[in-house]
């Protein structure tokens, strides 16, 4: 331990890390850890949605079985084969046909899939296109690989195709990162025709697509849609999914699907990062899939989340200023609220909301150009219905107070 007066080393951090700031939402978590705060800030499943009883039975049975010690031993970086086989069947639901297990990799959550993809493809100064707004962790990960991020305009129906092609021609990007289903942060979903066009446009210009789908199973209305990957004829789409939002984020299990060559590079990157995803939880996830338990817990949790979403939509209509507009998602965990450009919800209003014990994520952390201070992201999965009504009223009253004369 250092004592006052000790001369502490002036750390010579790498150029990559020197100017890195923490992911904005991780920082907010510190602020909102007080127990009496109503948080619409995180992106966590509800505590009562986490399948602790099912997990206990599965883990007990795995650890009592004759494969127990192999599950506690080092495993292959590629993944636990029964998990990869179940995973290959699982992604058929979004139209992905895997010919060989060399096209699929077990990853330690979707976040690792983003990191490994950037590690495999990005040189210093390479450009990455992202939706504006995008998932807040992506700028953070991209900075560690010294990429330049460029936002592509997003409309009510997701990424704007004209702007996508324009940005590709102008910036010659290596990669497009996109969350086409129940996007974080907007909750928006891109329709099938647009998915086909995204596959076409990016294939034409040799742009890699990183399609991130952690929320697709949390659908409260409408039909399941085919992935962009299902329209990939050129091998330029990498598909990520995760069991964090459906089973448990704490177990850190997800899947990446791509051409064999890409999976090989991601695997080599993963060897250096964490050797392999925890085999015990890959095996547990295999059982959730094989025994139909994932479907069972979704059948239980989806109505629970739908009630929370409907409650928040109702509360917004009752309490938010008339100048606000918000998305009406068919699934996922977020609602995105937009105010007129003159309104800043990232500064004083945010601090005052925390003082009044309500938290949200201000929109600017999701835009690569620092815009979006007039937007906010609300998570509806974690608070009780009573707290949703109460918290949205507190926020609505605060916004109306501050915006008087503006809205
Ligand atoms: C769009 C998106 N991608 C990836 C992740 C990371 O999830 P995981 O827990 O699977 O790493 C999240 C988590 O919030 C997310 O919203």
- Which CATH number does the domain housing residue 369 bear? 3.90.1150.10
> Closest Cα to residue 139, out of 387, 317, 367, 384?
367
| 203 CA → ligand 1 middle, Å | 25
pLDDT at 18: 77
Pocket test for ligand 1, best of 184, 189, 214, 379 (most atoms within 8 A of CB): 214
Condensed to tens digits (0 to 9), the pLDDT of residues 211-256 reads 999 999 999 999 999 999 999 999 999 999 999 999 999 999 999 9
Q: Is residue 251 situated within a structural domain?
A: yes
Q: Which residues of 55-85 are buried (b: 16+ CB within 10 A; e: fewer)?
A: beebbeebeeeeeeeebeeebebbbbebbbb
Q: How many domains does the chain have?
A: 2
Ligand 1 pocket (Cβ < 6 Å) reads 43, 109-111, 135, 179, 184, 212, 214, 242, 244, 249, 254
Q: What is the mean pLDDT of residues 135-159?
A: 95
**Distance, CA 135 to ligand 1 centroid (Å)?**
8
27 confidence band (pLDDT: 50, 70, 90): low
Give residue 166 CA to ligand 1 midpoint distance, Å. 28
From CA 316, how far away is CA 335, in angstroms rounded? 10
Mean pLDDT of 74-97: 98
Q: Each residue of 52-62: pLDDT tens digit?
A: 999 999 999 99
Q: Are residues 179 and 83 in the same domain?
A: yes
pLDDT for 57: 98
- Report the 10 Å Cβ neighbour count for 120: 20
In this structure, are 283 and 344 located in the same domain?
A: no
Q: Which of 50, 107, 112, 137 to mutate to test the pocket of ligand 1 (most atoms within 8 A of CB)?
A: 137
Output the pTM of the full model: 0.95
User: DSSP readout, 78-134?
Assistant: T--HHHHHHHHHHGGGGT---SSGGGEEEESSHHHHHHHHHHHHPPTT-EEEEEES-
77 & 151 share domain: yes
Q: How confident is the model at residue 181 (pLDDT cuts 50, 70, 90)?
A: very high
189 shares a domain with 161: yes
What's residue 25's pLDDT? 65
C-alpha 112 to ligand 1 mean position (Å): 9
Which pLDDT band, with edges at 50, 70 and 90, does 258 fall under? Answer: very high
Question: How far does residue 121's CA lie from ligand 1's centre (Å)?
Answer: 20
Q: Closest ligand 1 atom, CA of 135?
A: 1
**59 in any annotated domain:** no
Q: What percent of the chain has pLDDT over 90?
A: 88
What is the span of the domain harbouring residue 39? Answer: 16-51+295-401
Q: Is the pLDDT of residue 405 over 60?
A: no
pLDDT of residue 225: 98
- Determine the pLDDT at residue 407: 42
pLDDT, average across residues 257-275: 98
Q: Is residue 44 located within the same domain as residue 189?
A: no
């Amino acid at each position: 331990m250092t004592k006052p007066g000790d001369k502490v080393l002036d750390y010579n951090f790498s150029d990559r890390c020197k100017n890195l700031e923490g992911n904005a939402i991780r920082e907010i978590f510190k602020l909102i850890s007080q127990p009496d705060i109503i948080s619409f800030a995180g992106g966590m499943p509800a505590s009562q949605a986490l399948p602790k009883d099912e997990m206990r039975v599965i883990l007990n049975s795995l650890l009592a079985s004759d494969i127990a010690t192999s599950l506690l031993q080092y495993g292959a970086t590629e993944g636990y084969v029964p998990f990869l086989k179940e995973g290959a069947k699982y992604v058929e639901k979004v139209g992905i046909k895997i010919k060989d297990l060399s096209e699929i990799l077990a990853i330690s959550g979707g976040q690792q899939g983003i990191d490994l993809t950037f590690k495999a493809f990005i040189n210093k100064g390479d450009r990455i296109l992202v939706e504006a707004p995008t998932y807040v962790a992506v700028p953070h990960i991209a900075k560690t690989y010294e990429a330049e991020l460029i936002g592509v305009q997003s409309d009510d129906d997701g990424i704007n195709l004209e702007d996508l092609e324009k940005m590709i021609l102008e910036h010659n990007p290596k990669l497009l990162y996109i969350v086409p289903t129940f996007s974080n942060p907007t909750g928006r979903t891109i329709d099938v025709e647009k998915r086909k066009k995204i596959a076409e446009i990016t294939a034409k210009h040799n742009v890699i697509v990183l399609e991130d789908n952690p929320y697709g199973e949390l659908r409260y209305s409408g039909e399941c849609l085919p992935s962009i990957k299902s329209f990939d004829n050129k091998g330029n789409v990498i598909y990520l999914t995760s069991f964090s939002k459906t089973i448990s984020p704490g177990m850190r299990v997800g899947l990446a699907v791509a051409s064999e060559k890409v999976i090989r590079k991601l695997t080599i990157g993963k060897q250096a990062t964490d050797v392999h995803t925890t085999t015990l939880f890959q095996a547990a996830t295999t059982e959730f899939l094989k025994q139909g338990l994932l479907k069972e817990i979704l059948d239980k949790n989806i109505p629970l989340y739908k009630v929370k979403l409907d409650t928040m939509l109702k509360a917004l209509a009752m309490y938010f200023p008339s100048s606000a507009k918000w998305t009406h998602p068919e699934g996922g965990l977020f609602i995105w609220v937009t105010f007129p450009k003159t309104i800043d919800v990232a500064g004083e209003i945010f601090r005052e909301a925390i003082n009044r014990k309500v938290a949200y994520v201000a929109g600017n952390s999701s835009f690569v150009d620092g815009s979006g201070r007039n937007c906010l992201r609300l998570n509806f999965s974690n608070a009780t219905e009573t707290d949703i009504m109460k918290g949205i009223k507190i926020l609505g009253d605060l916004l109306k107070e501050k915006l008087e004369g503006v809205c």
